[in-house]
Structure 1
Amino acid sequence: MDLLQSQGLLRRVRGTSPSMSSRTAAAAVFLLFATNGALIGGVGGTLPALRERLDVSASGLSLLLFCLAAAAVVSMQVGGRLADKIGARPVALVTLSVLAAGVGLLAITSSLPWAIVAMVLAGLGNGAMDVAMNSLGVEVEQSRPRPIMSRFHAFWSLGNLTAAGTIVLIARLLDRTGGANVGPALETLCVVGIIAIAVAFRIVPDGRRIEHKPDGVRTAIPRLAWALGLMAFCFGLAEGTAVDWSSVHVTDVAKIDPSTGALGLVCVSGCMVIIRLLGDRAVARVGRRAVVRVGAVTAIAGYFITVLTDPLPLLLIGWALVGLGLGLVAPQVYAVAGHVGGGRMLAIVVTFGYAAFLVGPAMIGQLVEHFGVQHAMILPLVLSGCLVAVSPALPRDD
């Protein structure tokens, strides 16, 4: 039985599109995830050079990142409700355009105030688009006989990695001194985004509408939303730590040069992509609850290695396990939220994940400063354990 049926929510759905079962619908959602990942990855890949061009300190860069994340949190709430009311398609298309506009403005600005405006635009587009594209992904999955959400998230990771690598390469080719010539790189990414928008307008299918006032009384948000939100916060901070600190951790603990230490991030990101490409098969075989548990336990094992060992090969194995484990968790938690409560509930859960990205860097930074980077990894280890403890709240797969 579908999770949406088990929660009795189908009676609130109007106009579910039969085209969701087509290959074109799946390709459209793959495109949305990959484009979103590419635009966000491009911003992340140009941050060091952007810091030089704007002539800002680390605090200025933190302000830009905060504006990006805070705007995303705000737009998620609006985007989730709009996706239920008018369908996820228009929300996804409009917010993709807003995200691309923010990245485009970031490409041409040379002042901090305009960079803040650009980051706010990008955040507003990214937050609501995140909810909308996940809502469309849930609808496509509901129309198919087998799970597909993990592959959607794999395409986000692929887009993110490809853009981040390409953007840095373009910047270096245009400015061999390693300076701040990031404009052409981001402009190139915007062209890709515009092409993706044009294609998306043609192939993204109409989504369902969910009525949260079937009898004139607003239905309560399912209590499951808060358990899923806790899980999203846990894996958000654990995954954010892996992405932000794995290279620094490997460099400092193994006492090697930074270029070699970057292999930590390569292990995390590469393994995350691989497991997301394979994760749907695991969901079809054993169900989402078991997949989340196995993923969390795998992440625990990886973080244990990062806390207790020093040799480079073991550290890389540890970070690879973290990537394999955490890569399984997010698609399943978001899928359950969308199946059970639509865009409104999905927005709540995704917000908890973003909140972790907001507070996570500061929390880990303080722990690194006071206890060292190796001992700081105890926090994401504990949070990975919390994922195992909360996983029984996930509905059983029939």
Structure 2
Amino acid sequence: MTGPSPEGARTAVPAPTREVRLASVAVFTVFALAGLNFASWAARLPAVRDGLGLTPEQMGVLLLVGAFGSLAALPLSGLVVERLGAARTVLVFALLNAAGLATASAGVAAGQVVVVGLGLVLAGVGTGVWDAAMNLEGAVVEQRLGRTVMPRYHAGFSFGTMAAAGLAALAAWLGVPVWWHVPGVLLLSSVVVVLAVRVFLAGPGEGGHGAAHGDAHGHGGARGAARAWIEPRTLLIGLVVLAAALTEGAANDWLGLAVVDEFGVDDAVGAVAFGLFVTAMTGMRILGTRLLDRFGRVAVLRLCAGLAAVGLLVFGTAGSLWLAMVGVVAWGLGAALGFPVGMSAAADDPLRAAPRVAVVSTIGYSAFLAGPPLLGLLAEHVGYRDALLAILVPVVLGLLVTSAAAPLRAAGPVPADAAVPADAAVPADAPSPEPR
């Protein structure tokens, strides 16, 4: 199987079959639905807060409780995908995600914080494993296509969040309650997920044979999962993804509330600000495939880290709403590519992709889900915008280790006329790769 050449070096690959093209559309669709589900809830957080009568600190605790589900499930996601396959894993856990968010919406209607928390735990389990499985399927399809497409799949997630933000703004303006709006969206997305996973590709070893084969070679199963947690390259990629995930997750959870409370505007304007953020992310993810092909992973990740830092500084210190919105755009551009590039980097070796993606997903989602609630606790004391400035610390740390995401060289002999990426890395058990 010929992998993509994301550092500007073109290699000849067969034209993708109809099966691969259909699978690519299905992966994009599933990413979009994940974004739709997540942001349908996230964009209504001001209404959730008001409906439950919670303070910023209490909202932070509620979101942190909801994150426990994902944090508990993610380390096992690689084993789950190896056992069930990507298609069945996405289906089962997407439906669990929808059931959890529907339960949380019912809790808001009843004014029961405990029910909301229980629903968010269930949704978190669904979100985490669903995400890992669809990223693994995306990596399989990307390798079969022979070109960089993972950022476009994550752009699908962003398209889903954009659509959700628009629907949420409309629902807030019309006064549609959360417990009608969110379950209606979830029902539609669940139907489409059932249809999309029918055309997924089978990854390496799916169908019950992959785990046994992996155990024999130390690549899969419980042994491979444990080994992935001590690989320096995998952990450094996880740090890059952590910074990007926290940068994105903080905006998902707190951007709307920060705009509403600190600039004295209504909930609809907060939803518009969130929509502006995800629109900027989407544009960068679409553009990012060309940037990655031309300049390579390391250079593009450094660009994104710089944009994120500038955007956060502008948003956190701006005295006017329009200038803060400029910061939101830069923030969104900078948050766009760390997660998809990290997933591609973790899946460079198909035989070890499942445990490595599980590790990177666990690290990233720890930040994506647990980090923003902790920022909420900080916001109780210093305000939303000052709390968001704390994200600059992991952004800088991620910037320092971006070279870990450079692609691995293909194993085995390389033909004399083959193009080799200029910043390709050596295998995971060799010294860390150097940037270009």
Instruction: Report the TM range for the smaller structure's normalisation.
Output: 0.7 to 0.9
Partner of 1:119: 120
Select 1:288's aligned residue among 289, 297, 301. 297
**1:391 Cα deviation from its structure 2 partner:** 0.7
**Cα separation, partners in 2 of 1:376 and 1:56, compared to 1, 3 Å:** closer
1:70-110 Cα offsets, whole Å, 9 max, x none, are 10122222222121344212111111121222233334453
**Cα separation, partners in 2 of 1:354 and 1:57, compared to 1, 3 Å:** same
Select 2:67's aligned residue among 62, 66, 69. 69
**Cα contact 1:19–1:25 (8 A) shared by 2:** no
User: Percent of counterpart pairs with the same letter?
Assistant: 30
Is it true that 1:189 corresponds to 2:198 in the alignment?
no
**1:33 Cα deviation from its structure 2 partner:** 0.7
Distance 2:389 2:52 in 1: 35
**Cα separation, partners in 2 of 1:192 and 1:263, compared to 1, 3 Å:** closer
- AA at the equivalent of 1:395: A
**Cα contact 1:20–1:143 (8 A) shared by 2:** no
**Cα contact 1:131–1:347 (8 A) shared by 2:** yes
Distance 2:135 2:292 in 1: 17
For 2:348, what is the secondary structure of its paired residue? helix
Select 2:360's aligned residue among 349, 355, 359. 349
Alpha-carbon RMSD: 3.2
* Greater CA drift, 99-108 or 255-264: 255-264
**Cα separation, partners in 2 of 1:298 and 1:81, compared to 1, 3 Å:** same
**Cα separation, partners in 2 of 1:132 and 1:310, compared to 1, 3 Å:** same
Partner of 2:30: 32
- AA at the equivalent of 1:198: V
**Cα contact 2:60–2:375 (8 A) shared by 1:** no
**1:256 Cα deviation from its structure 2 partner:** 5.8
Select 1:235's aligned residue among 219, 239, 244. 244
For 1:207, what is the secondary structure of its paired residue? coil
**Cα separation, partners in 2 of 1:367 and 1:98, compared to 1, 3 Å:** closer
Gaps of 5+ in 2: 6-15, 408-420, 425-436
**Cα contact 1:84–1:208 (8 A) shared by 2:** no
**Cα contact 1:93–1:200 (8 A) shared by 2:** no
Partner of 1:319: 328
Q: Describe how 1:159-178 pairs up with structure 2 within 5 A.
A: 159-167=160-168, 169-170=170-171, 173=174, 176=175
For 1:212, what is the secondary structure of its paired residue? helix
Higher helix share: 1
Distance 2:72 2:18 in 1: 28
**Cα contact 1:89–1:207 (8 A) shared by 2:** no
Gaps of 5+ in 1: 6-17
Q: Describe how 1:82-161 pairs up with structure 2 within 5 A.
A: 82-109=80-107, 110=110, 111-161=112-162
**Cα separation, partners in 2 of 1:35 and 1:310, compared to 1, 3 Å:** same
* Greater CA drift, 297-306 or 24-33: 297-306
Distance 1:53 1:367 in 2: 22
Partner of 1:276: 285
Distance 1:161 1:243 in 2: 11
- TM-score, normalised with respect to structure 1: 0.83
1:35-94 Cα offsets, whole Å, 9 max, x none, are 111111222234444455556665664454233311012222222212134421211111
**Cα contact 1:45–1:165 (8 A) shared by 2:** no
**Cα separation, partners in 2 of 1:2 and 1:362, compared to 1, 3 Å:** same
**Cα separation, partners in 2 of 1:172 and 1:62, compared to 1, 3 Å:** same
Distance 2:381 2:52 in 1: 30
Partner of 1:13: none
Partner of 1:385: 396
- TM-score, normalised with respect to structure 2: 0.76
**Cα separation, partners in 2 of 1:206 and 1:20, compared to 1, 3 Å:** farther
For 2:65, what is the secondary structure of its paired residue? helix
**1:135 Cα deviation from its structure 2 partner:** 0.4
Partner of 1:200: 196
- AA at the equivalent of 2:324: L
- AA at the equivalent of 2:97: L
Select 2:265's aligned residue among 257, 264, 282. 257
For 2:241, what is the secondary structure of its paired residue? helix
**1:30 Cα deviation from its structure 2 partner:** 1.1
Distance 2:314 2:53 in 1: 39
**Cα separation, partners in 2 of 1:26 and 1:59, compared to 1, 3 Å:** same
**1:32 Cα deviation from its structure 2 partner:** 1.0
Partner of 1:9: none
- AA at the equivalent of 2:242: F
**1:247 Cα deviation from its structure 2 partner:** 4.8
Distance 1:149 1:191 in 2: 27
**Cα contact 2:82–2:354 (8 A) shared by 1:** yes
Partner of 2:411: none
Distance 2:405 2:88 in 1: 30
Distance 2:80 2:370 in 1: 27
Q: Describe how 1:367-382 pairs up with structure 2 within 5 A.
A: 367-368=378-379, 375-382=386-393
- AA at the equivalent of 1:101: A
Is it true that 1:395 corresponds to 2:406 in the alignment?
yes
**Cα separation, partners in 2 of 1:363 and 1:68, compared to 1, 3 Å:** closer
**Cα separation, partners in 2 of 1:89 and 1:165, compared to 1, 3 Å:** same
